[in-house]
Structures are given as structure tokens and as C-alpha cells.
Amino acid sequence: MTVLVGYVPSALGEAALRAAVEQARFRDEPVLVVNTSRGDAYVDPRFAQESDLARVARELTGVPHTVRQLVRGRDAAEEIAEIAEAEEISLVVIGIRHRTPVGKLIMGSTAQEILLRVPCPVLAVKAD
């Protein structure tokens, strides 16, 4: 079994990563870090750069882990749900932020889609 974390280089992503490391150590499981981009913009602030990935590696020191960066034209919820369904994932960890009801209606919610689609428990964490 593996703990999957949806990572973005932001306070939310860092909070999710810390929670995933804590859960992985508690469960004695490896961590799978997933960072995605739809690839539809020249610069996607959600796509981790080398310096971000170095910070991720430091946070995961002593924890077996794999990092996957996916650019396949799909949104993060689709990518995470597909991985959670296809692999032995015990827990998905995601960062969440407050959104207004109107914001959710207009923009949708990646976190909500993940919560509804994945077949395993989801731990949603807020940034510090």
C-alpha cells in the first residue's frame, strides 16, 4: 500500500506533503507524490520546478517515495483518481482552501471531485 499526495508548490501543497509524510511514517508505507499540469499554459504555477522538487525530496528524507509529474492534458482530479483506482493506494492526501459557494459553482472544485471519485480514504488538510 502507498500514501498518495497531490502536490502543488504552494502553502497548500506543503501542508499536504507534511501530512502525507506523517501518515506514511505512521502506516510504514511509501509516499507517491503526484504533481500535474494540463499543459495548456506556458507557465503553470501548479507545476513543480526543480527547486520545488528538491524541497519535496528534503521533506521526504528517510521515507521511501516516488515523484510523478504528469502533463497529459487532464486535470489533477482525473489524474489522482486514475492512479488511486489502478494502484494500491491506502490514502490520498490533498490540500484544500476555502471557496465560496459561487466560486465552487462557477469553477468547480478539484478537492470535491477527488473526494467523490477515489476508492480510498482522503485526508484533506488546510495550510498553516
Q: What is the pLDDT of residues 46-86, one digit of tens each?
A: 999 999 999 999 999 999 999 999 999 999 999 999 999 99
Prediction pTM value: 0.91
Which residues, in sequence order, are CB contacts of 11 under 8 Å at separation 6+? 95, 127, 128
**How confident is residue 97, by pLDDT bands cut at 50, 70 and 90?**
confident
**Among residues 24, 47, 120, which one has the least CA distance to residue 80?**
120
Q: Mean pLDDT throughout 21-45?
A: 93
Check pLDDT > 80 for residue 40. Answer: yes
What whole-number distance in Å separates Cα of residue 105 and Cα of residue 47? 25
